[in-house]
Amino acid sequence: MADAQTRLREALAAQTNTAPGDWHLVLKCRHGMLVVLRELAQRYGKGTVITQLLTCCTAVDPIVAAGLTPVYGDVSLQTFALDAAALRVSEPPVAIVDQHTFGYIDRASSQALRAVANSHSALLLEDCAHCVGRMATDDQGRPLADFSFHSFGVEKMLPTYFSGAVWVNPQMEDAKLRDKVTQALESLSEPQGKLARAMRGYRTQIRVLNHLPAPLSRGVRSALLALEAFEPAIAECERKGAVAHEPQAAGEWAASQVVDLFEALPNSYDLRISALDSYAQELSDIEGIGTSQAMLASGQPLLRVPVNMASNEAANVAIQAIASAGLYAVPWYRPLLYPGVSDKGAYAWDGTLQNLPHTAALSHGAVALPCDLTKAQVHDVACALREAASVT
């Protein structure tokens, strides 16, 4: 039998109708982004990358860490991703990020972003962290992006904790950049020492920390961090525009954790599509919440279903009500650059949203609902939302 890394490349290629040799495995998705962006900066010089604030800070950290400048465009109220029609490009960017928020791929929106990128001779970077194994394509079914980034990290499509993948478009126009990136990705070393041990112990550590009383859990977590014995999903430096660790390869152990679960992906997709149908019915008559009708009607396997409550307070009540029902919702992306950054200046953001009205609207009461649920569980979530909306 082939090694786990080879099998994972082959599984990704089969899922996307691409070639295994164009897939490169990294320890974390952000590591792959940093490799690409560093090569891009070296080739084209210091420039801007158009992205969005309605995202996790770790999706912007590689831009900053590579010495490039993030510029934030507004998002669509239906896709929660960059709205090509609303982009105001003051200077030609070196790249544009097409983020498939919550796993929703809108082909028309991605094609419009590809057209904007082409008009400025910019690269299109596809953030598939929420929809591993699916990519935006043109009308002939060919991938649109120059580079596509996929994640197997915490709270993604599969119950895995580490590893990511980068797809490099073999047909991209800048062949020299393609070859440089490919060489850089294949030259990465595997995690060693404390980091390797922390990765192997992560599942057990999280299980223990989640069962300890909150004050004790925080203390134990701090002690493990000080000893470099715990690898957090988001390190403190990653709330300041850095990327923890130099980019590293996934390695055989991390790849084996993913590939052993990859066969379950179709079943996960079926469950999520069924849950989406249930959400479309259950959410239709709840007053006081906003939803994306496009997402609900998409028939796609979403990672989360986003709803927007009337306020932060209402959103917090909803999350608590859902937790009381034994289920788990999250406040993605509230605050923006989730879970919030400690140095907005590092992200070239002054904290204002005056030119980003849709981003502002979607960030006030955001609640991201789980999708790996049965019909009965979706009903329980809807009941909790209805209760929260009625008391706020």
Please give the average per-residue pLDDT across 114-118, as a whole number: 97
Give backbone dihedrals phi and psi of 367, rounded to 5 degrees, phi first.
-135, 130
What are the C-alpha distances in Å from 309 to residues 168, 364, 388?
39, 8, 9
**Mind listing the pLDDT tens digit for each residue in 175-193?**
999 999 999 999 999 999 9
Domain architecture of the chain: domains with CATH:
4-186 (3.40.640.10), 193-244 (no CATH), 265-391 (3.90.1150.10)
Tokens 């396997």 belong to residue: 301
Residue 267 has pLDDT above 70, yes or no: yes
**Mind listing the pLDDT tens digit for each residue in 24-68?**
999 999 999 999 999 999 999 889 999 999 999 999 999 999 999
Please give the average per-residue pLDDT across 129-140, as a whole number: 95
What are the C-alpha distances in Å from 233 to residues 57, 58, 155, 314, 321?
12, 10, 10, 27, 25
Helix (H, G, I), strand (E, B) or coil at 251: helix
pLDDT band at 90; cut points 50, 70, 90: confident
Q: In whole angstroms, give the CA distance from residue 69 to residue 60.
A: 10
Burial class from Cβ neighbours inside 10 Å (0-12, 13-18, 19+) for residue 45 reads exposed
Residue 1 has pLDDT above 60, yes or no: no
Q: Which of 103-112, 171-180, 282-291 has the lowest mean pLDDT?
A: 282-291
Residue 62 near residue 85, CB atoms below 8 Å? no
pLDDT band at 392; cut points 50, 70, 90: low
Mean pLDDT (the chain, rounded) = 95
Please give the average per-residue pLDDT across 162-182, as a whole number: 97
pLDDT band at 359; cut points 50, 70, 90: very high
Q: Give the tokens for residue 194.
A: 């404390």
pLDDT band at 389; cut points 50, 70, 90: confident
pLDDT band at 263; cut points 50, 70, 90: confident
**Mind listing the pLDDT tens digit for each residue in 302-345?**
999 999 998 999 999 999 999 999 999 999 999 999 999 999 99
pLDDT band at 388; cut points 50, 70, 90: confident
Helix (H, G, I), strand (E, B) or coil at 133: coil
81-119 burial: b if 16+ Cβ within 10 Å, else e:
bbbbeebeeeeebbbbbbbbbbbbbbeebbbbbbebbee
Q: Among residues 50, 88, 77, which one has the least CA distance to residue 363?
A: 77
The sheet carrying 164-168 orders its strands as 23-26, 164-168, 147-151, 123-128, 95-99, 48-51, 69-72
pTM of the model as a whole? 0.96
pLDDT at 46: 86
Residue 341 near residue 239, CB atoms below 8 Å? yes
Q: In whole angstroms, give the CA distance from residue 95 to residue 84.
A: 13
**Mind listing the pLDDT tens digit for each residue in 285-303?**
898 899 999 999 999 999 9
Please give the average per-residue pLDDT across 200-211, as a whole number: 94
